[in-house]
Every structure is written in C-alpha cells, then in structure tokens.
Copies of this chain bind each other. A is one copy, B any other.
C-alpha cells in the first residue's frame, strides 16, 4: 500500500531541493486532454537528474507514488492518476535542455523535458532531421514520447520513438541513476534495458535524458494524394511503390472519405483537391537520393497503378506549398474528429494483409449496434489504423454512452481476432489496463509483473498504469 504525498512530506525535501522545484499543480497536471481522467497530487519540478534522484529516493523510502509528467499529451491516461493515495506529480518540464548535438555522429543528447518541435529544430540546425513527427509535436516532450514509444507519421521509414534512441539516462525507483547515455550505434553488453524502459510508461524508471539518432535529410521529397479503389488496392499501391523506390517511401497514410467530410462538417479549411471525392485515398511521401525528381517517381508509380486498376485519380504536389496543403488534410483530421466528438476512438494494428478484411468486417459489426459513422484513417504502411466511431450527423456522442463499451469491444475483439493489437502506438496507460489483461498473453503478463516487482518493489512508479496496482 502506498502513502499519500502530503505538504509535510514535501517539507522534508526542502533542504535537498531548490525552491524552484516546488510548484503548484495546474489543470494540465491533473487532467488528461480528453477529460477522461482527473487526478490529485502534489507537483515537484526538478531541474536536474540529481534532483529527480533525490525525489525518488525519498518517495521510495516513504512509499509514495510518483507520476512522471512530460507534455501531458498522452491519450490513455498514463499521465494522470485518478483515485488512490495522492502521488507526487514529477514534472520533467524544467529539464528541457538539448545537452549536445554531434552532427558528424548524427546524434543529439536531449533532456526528458525537451519539446519534440525543439528537438526537430535542433536537428535541422545541424543539417539533419529528427524523424519522429506527430500531431502534438509542439507540446509533447522527449521523455514522455520515449516512455510511451510514440509513433506518428514517419514510422514506416524511420521506426517509432524506440528506433530513434541510442541511449538513456534513467532514475530508478530507488533513486539510483543509470548512466546509459551512450552515443553508440552498436553495443551488445548486457540486457537491453533501454528498450525495456522505452514503452514502460514510467512504471519501471524515470527517463531523464536520451541520446537520439538524427537522420540524413533526403536530397528531395515529394508528396502525392492518390485515389485508390479499396483498402486492398492501397496495399497493392504500397507494394508497387516499394518495388520501385524500396523503403524510400517515408509515409503512406490511408484516408476514408469520412475524414475529409468531417473537415467540411467541422468548418475546417483543408480540402481534398480531387473531384469527385474518392471513397478511399492515400497520402504518399517519398524521400529520395540525389539525382531523382520525386514528381517523376510519383508519376511513374501513378501510371503503373492506373495500368493495374489500383487507382484512377490523383494529384502530385508540384511545390512545397501544395505538399503542405495535402499534408494539412491528413493532419487536420484529428482536430475535425475532436469537434465532431467520437463515441469511441481506437488505435489498432493488424497484420498488413488482414487490413482489408478488418475494414470489411468492422463496418457491418458496428452498424449492427446502431447507426454510426466510422472515420477510418491512419498509418497503412504500419498496419495501424485510427478507427474511430462517431454518431450520425446532428446527433451527439452523449446519446451513445450506452453502446460505447460495446463499440470498443467489437473493434478490439476484431483486431485481436486478426492477430492485431488494441494499442498500436498510444500505449496502455490507465485506459487500456483491462484490455491488456483481456487480450495480452498471460505468460507475458506474468513476466511483466515479475519485472515490475523486481525493479520497483514498493510499486511507487506511476501506480496503476500498464499494470493494475
């Protein structure tokens, strides 16, 4: 059992921490963005790894829970603890330095509180790119992005957050510092604790800094939006593109017409420049070596797709502004979704070849529950769909509260039946603890609990996230 964090407990830390570490928790620390979790807790905002260690040592000794807090943009309640003994909310926001950039190594070392957009900017400043890119990049912080193994738009080519990380600095539950900030591309000395910490959502240790890979900037990039006959045709198009340019396909995003229709309904500006609006379309981005014009490569791919009956219409961006306008369609859909208000949102993945069947079966299964609209879009090349369910136009999500659990169950059962995942990139947090218990492999769960007990015997780290406390 954990003890609550009290002002008296914080007072015991005042001689070991500077005044700046003591702050008042705001709404951003006590609520998650969708409003599903509301928590309590006392805020500490350490300014250094040593201060994080001091706090954890004290919390470990006093058996007080610690909820690490980065940008607060997570979608599964991993950053807010609702109920139970009030924890220390450990904000990493003050530790936002880019400690070093090593352009000749394609490496940078950033503290956990560094905002993703600032990390991207630092890479650009060194003539490189940091490939992780997602909707909340203006506020999401590196520590949280790694703790949740965030995904986003460039996973197809560059991998998720895990693949961008070479080394970590981590404070353990006991308040010891693991100095694992290696800038090495290869290091086979002992267990891969880096990848264990990545994706553990702050339940096994607190990430305080990371050595990150930067990537070379492609000599030229090109963007196109192609109509496709079906989700299966979209997969065929991906295969066709890869046959020609290998894995220089940097993004491959599927959109059902529901997404662009929501843009109109929600009064947002982005528009699809294809008429008629296709039922299915894909946004393709190539990043190519010197000597190739992306427009030519995209035109050749389109021509072959037309010949094979995969596509009938499309537009290839001929300027940076046109490319950005195409990307705006895809990137504005989440905002449209928020405005429309979903009954239930899902972040599923299935094996690539099962995607068309998943989509074909999902619709009828959901319509059997009631009249709903499905906005199916996402990272097709990764097998990852944001498969979100909405009320009909003019109806409110509030009217559908009764079927919400059933909607989620139908979608998750179907993904699971295809060998898929019920959390492709958002993590477990607190929202999907039950899903993990329901769908997860029991032997894996047993091992996870054993590791949690071994590394955090008092159970202070992000209590109730990932594993039931």
Contact = CB atoms under 8 A, between A and B. Distances in A.
A190 B292 contact: no
Contact of A195 (B177, B192, B244, B435): B192
Contact of A179 (B204, B297, B443): B443
Interface stretch (A57-65, A267-275, A346-354, A395-403): A346-354
A176 B289 contact: no
A457 B187 CA distance: 27
Given A184-B424, A188-B426, 10 more contacts: A102-B353, A155-B185, A178-B441, A182-B421, A184-B421, A186-B349, A188-B424, A191-B200, A193-B448, A218-B246
Contacts of A379: 186
Contacts of A382: 185-186
Interface stretch (A33-41, A91-99, A235-243, A335-343): A235-243
Contacts of A420: 184
A425 interface: yes
A287 to B, nearest CB: 7
A221 to B, nearest CB: 10
A387 B157 CA distance: 33
Contact of A190 (B185, B384, B448, B455): B448
Contacts of A180: 441, 444
Interface in A288-327: 288-292, 296-297, 300
Residue among A383, A440, A444 with most chain B CB within 10 A: A444
Given A176-B446, A184-B421, A188-B149, A104 B353 contact: yes
Given A239-B104, A425-B186, A193 B447 contact: yes
B352 A104 contact: yes
Contact-residue bracket for chain A = 35 or more
B195 A428 contact: no
A188 B291 contact: no
Contacts of A218: 246
Given A190-B440, A204-B191, A244-B289, A350 B184 contact: yes
B289 A190 contact: no
A102 B247 CA distance: 17
Nearest to A106: B352
Contacts of A425: 186, 188
A439 interface: yes
Contacts of A187: 349, 421, 423-424
Given A186-B425, A289-B248, A291-B292, A191 B466 contact: yes
A287 B160 CA distance: 23
A14 to B, nearest CB: 27
A199 interface: yes
A186 B244 contact: no
Contacts of A189: 421-423, 428, 432, 435-436, 439-440
A10 interface: no
Contacts of A288: 246, 289
A448 B172 CA distance: 12
A356 to B, nearest CB: 10
A107 B455 CA distance: 34
Contacts of A176: 443, 446
A279 interface: no
Nearest to A350: B184
B444 A188 contact: no
A148 interface: yes
A11 interface: no
A243 B374 CA distance: 43
A183 interface: yes
